[in-house]
Structure 1
């Protein structure tokens, strides 16, 4: 993984989850396995995170917007970006790698 450019501190913090839905297409397609680092529980910079917000689970891009909000961004242009409150956002992990393959 490190040879592929995936950065992490400890291998035991790495877990696999499954992407769902179409909101992150084309980056993450429905059913794609995702390698995440569960030791990352806070925003550490722009990226794709697995988090909960107002009782729902999301896999989305997060960016800072001011000091009390994140901008929640979907890669699928059919889904508009939303502003969400930092104090209501519970980061579970950061997505490090989309493990997708194309049949040939």
Structure 2
């Protein structure tokens, strides 16, 4: 078996935490992204990489799969080249482990979407996080008639500005499906256009064209080439925030 380049890099590190950090950097993701992949908070990843805490074996397997290395690369610093069938099996195990981390006792853990670390566009100047994680009953969620790609793709964001009023208001909580990354029929999406991060209603406006609809009458709708729009997620549900 052949020692791989990534294995050599990871193996050069002396601790599990430093090997996780090296593999993560090699993968090109930040701590927040890794935390989402393995179903923990960013503080847990920080603690692992600082060697303040060591992930348990089950979690370590999930970390290894997320970073495309073997457990032995993280524990012993040795990584071997593996065949495609093994890699496919590892990916399958990682998916099931992620599901187990999110789905417990008939409930689903919906984590905050780390907008600042997950998108390339400039953040809205008035964006404020008001929610962290939510635990919701799966039966109750499905009872609302919501269709989503996979439970592990659900996240929560805090809406900003009034451009989507009266559908979505500033500081409302919006449930999004990160598994939908292209136009999938008329609906509300988290998108990027012209360098801006927006929540907009998308409607088909002709061949390879989409209309960006701001539900507020004070904002103008625009028809733009579909290829100019980056879809980050589809909005599924809004929780209204109102003072009593």
TM-score of the superposed pair, with normalisation by structure 2: 0.41
1:78 matched to which residue of 2? 218
Max radius of gyration: which structure?
Answer: 2
Match of 2:240 in 1: 100
Runs of 5+ unmatched residues, structure 1? none
Aligned residues: 104
What per-residue deviation string (whole Å, max 9, x for no partner) do you get for residues 7-45 of structure 1? Answer: 113211000111111110111000111000000001110
User: Does 2:133 correspond to 1:22?
Assistant: no
SS in 2 for 1:5: coil
2:152 to 6, 9, 12: 12
Whose strand proportion is higher, 1 or 2? 1
**CA displacement, residues 31-87 of structure 1 (integer Å, 9 cap, x when unaligned):** 111000000001110000001011111100001111121100011111121112211
How far apart, in 2, do the equivalents of 1:9 and 1:77 lie? 32
TM-score (norm 1): 0.93
Looking at secondary structure, tell me which structure has more helix per residue: 2
RMSD, aligned CA? 1.2
Higher relative contact order structure (alpha carbons within 8 Å, sequence separation ≥ 6)? 1
List alignment gaps of at least 5 residues for structure 2.
1-140
